[in-house]
Structure 1
């Protein structure tokens, strides 16, 4: 297929798929969530263990990654599958190495592993596993919704479900990806024109279970999704019940988020459009800021410090996200890996042979 034919095919694919056209509400939702990702990673670094910061941490981690994965499912496609997976592989290897170098420079390197992605890198490996399931989701959508729900809730019974190969998180969060792929666009459409009072009440209702998780002292390990039930020290039946409740709570929060996001353009829209660069790069700034943040909030100023920690972390998260979503930064992070992945895919994908029409004059001879 010639480059021109390839461009025309991609343009036809985008026209036939309404979600390929940029949706401001989708980008704003991604912008809100990537801010929460940065904010959630800043909070533990300030060195405080108090009610307000723990409440913010619990609320964020109970739904922000499930919601982010749900949105990833909406935009997932089986077309150019090799190119998409190659892009994730390139980013995973490159940024795993970059984070190793960065942490080695500050004297706190992690143990290098090809099978256990470091820190935020688990998401890229999980994206590879989820993307591989997209053709099956498109072929058997309702079946995969049911299967993924059972797998996600019961994944903790598997003795090998842990951080290796991001298996535990891939299985636990898979239902959000599948539901996003199958029903995400419809849910966005259904929540587009809800009245204001419905949006506000929906957010209030969704917040109550999140608050209950904090009051109940939910272990953060449950929210990470990275360990099996043995690791979390619960029996299988109890673990299945807890995981089912956490899954339902996260889905309720996702629905509230879809209802809350407005249809408008603004800074959050840009941050959402370029959330990949924010996700991959914000860890470097957090590593650099950690000593200063911990020292600043170590003076012991009581409740004022709690409020100040949350407020300053929020502003810092916004500043980091805005800086890392600039067009040049996003281009550097996204374009070279995509071009390299396209080149790899072209080598691995069989090319169409050019069809030469028969020559009537030659046949006559």
Structure 2
């Protein structure tokens, strides 16, 4: 889902080369998915009064995080325990988790007047669960690359998690384990798989599929617990028989894959005005929650007109515009120090990098001598 943008310290030519190497399709997919995440969060306080909105909410929640996680897995295929990659994992995932878990906890204390809100790095609150999940998934990537049938194993783990309420809330392990199959699927995907879902036939077929999904979402509102789509509770915690957990894991995995394929089918392939914003989805993801929660805690939703069609459209447009701004270059430059810190002071020198540097200097020496001669 997130891979770091080039640093401002990089020379312009290097930035240009890195930009050319980016695939516009993935940046477009990440941006559109983060818009859906922000819109879904903005709908939460409104959806209880509108069956249509809650049906839309259900459909969006069936695929927006799976789409993110599949992309995250796809871009984690090269991850190993090499020191430079571990450093990027720490600075790009672990450090933002610590910073924003602390910031969100303090924010809730102040804005919601909740002095009992504890700061706990073991109990992710609100949005931060994804960062700890991504950290765990990436650390286990070598395991999934080594075993013979990784996806069935990941599905089996997710199914077992769904019937194990004893897992508790530490590190939001229910979500880590129940969303795991999507990450493992992404690890095992190749470029041609994304090409396949972008074919014209798939785009055409996705239209009736999406229509059916919307109809089923509307039908399911009074009949189904939305909590199944969050993947954060076991079947018993949702008040269902234990055996429904594995069934729902498999059913929702299949539904999510179909809807994610429909989503990917309609993601533009060419560079558009929002393509560059795809490099800033981590910023939009982590920052938009402050505005959504402030609106909820401060009673900004306590206006009757918001609960009609025009109000719902207004909230949707405002959320989409807001997260777009939060993905923009000025915001990324301002928050880069906590989102993508270099932290060279915290790490030992990498012997391999030092050797490569010495080798490069050795190659450049004859050329310098020739020029000086």
TM over 0.5: yes
| Residue from 326, 329, 332 that aligns with 2:331 | 329
Match of 2:60 in 1: 60
Shift of 1:185: 2.8
- RMSD of equivalent CA atoms: 2.8
Residues 259 and 152 (structure 1), Cα distance of their counterparts in 2 relative to 1, 3 Å cut: same
Residues 287 and 326 of structure 2 are in contact (CA less than 8 Å); yes or no, is this contact kept in structure 1? yes
Residue pair 1:30, 1:68 contacting (<8 A) in 2 also: yes
Can you list the C-alpha shifts for 1:115-143, whole angstroms capped at 9, x where unaligned? 11110010111011101111223333x52
| 2:102 equivalent to 1:97 | yes
Does the aligned pair in 1 maintain the 2:30–2:278 contact within 8 Å? yes
User: CA distance change for structure 1 residues 65 and 184 in 2, over 3 Å: closer, same or farther?
Assistant: farther
- CA 1:229–1:343: 2 relative to 1, 3 Å: farther
1:83 aligns with 2:87: yes
Q: 3-state DSSP class of the match of 1:347?
A: coil
2: CA distance, partners of 1:40 / 1:251: 19
Counterpart-to-counterpart distance in 1, 2:44 and 2:124: 20
Distance 1:186 1:103, change over 3 A: same
1:353–1:316 Cα change, 3 Å: closer
Distance 1:335 1:189 in 2: 36
- Give the distance between the partners of 2:349 and 2:37, measured in 1 at CA: 35
Alignment correspondent of 2:237:
231
In 2: Cα distance, 1:151 partner to 1:185 partner: 27
Q: 1:122 to 1:289 in 2, by over 3 A?
A: same
Partner in structure 2 of residue 25 of structure 1: 25
Q: For residues 285-342 of structure 1, what are the alpha-carbon distances to aligned partners after superposition, in whole Å with 9 as ceiling and x for unaligned?
A: 112333454122x25x9xxx43123311221122111210111211333455433455
TM-score by length of 2: 0.80
Q: Trace 1:116-195 onto structure 2 (pairs within 5 A).
A: 116-140=123-147, 142-183=148-189, 185-192=191-198, 194-195=199-200
3-state SS, counterpart of residue 237 of structure 2: coil
Summarize the Cα distance change of 1:335–1:157 in structure 2 as closer, same or farther, 3 Å threshold: same
Distance 2:338 2:44 in 1: 33
Rate the CA distance shift 1:265–1:157 in 2: closer, same or farther, 3 A. Answer: same
List runs of 5+ in structure 1 lacking aligned partners.
Answer: 1-6, 358-365
Counterpart in the other structure of 2:219: 215
- Alignment CA distance shift 1:341-1:187 (3 Å): farther
Change (3 A) 1:225 1:47: closer
CA contact (8 A) 1:53 1:306 kept: no
TM-score (normalised: structure 1)? 0.82
Structure-to-structure mapping, 1:269-348, within 5 angstroms:
269-290=275-296, 291=298, 293-296=300-303, 298=304, 305-334=307-336, 336-341=338-343, 343-344=345-346, 346-347=347-348
Contact 1:78 1:134 in 2 (8 A): yes
Question: CA contact under 8 A between 1:281 and 1:324: conserved in structure 2?
Answer: yes
What is the CA–CA distance in structure 1 between the aligned matches of 2:354 and 2:289, rounded to whole Å? Answer: 46
2:250 aligns with one of 228, 244, 248 = 244
Is the Cα contact below 8 Å between 1:71 and 1:184 reproduced in 2?
no
Deviation per residue, 1:8-36 (Å, 9 max, x gap) = xxx9xx99xxx993111111111111001
Number of aligned pairs? Answer: 334
Q: Secondary structure at the match of 1:234?
A: coil
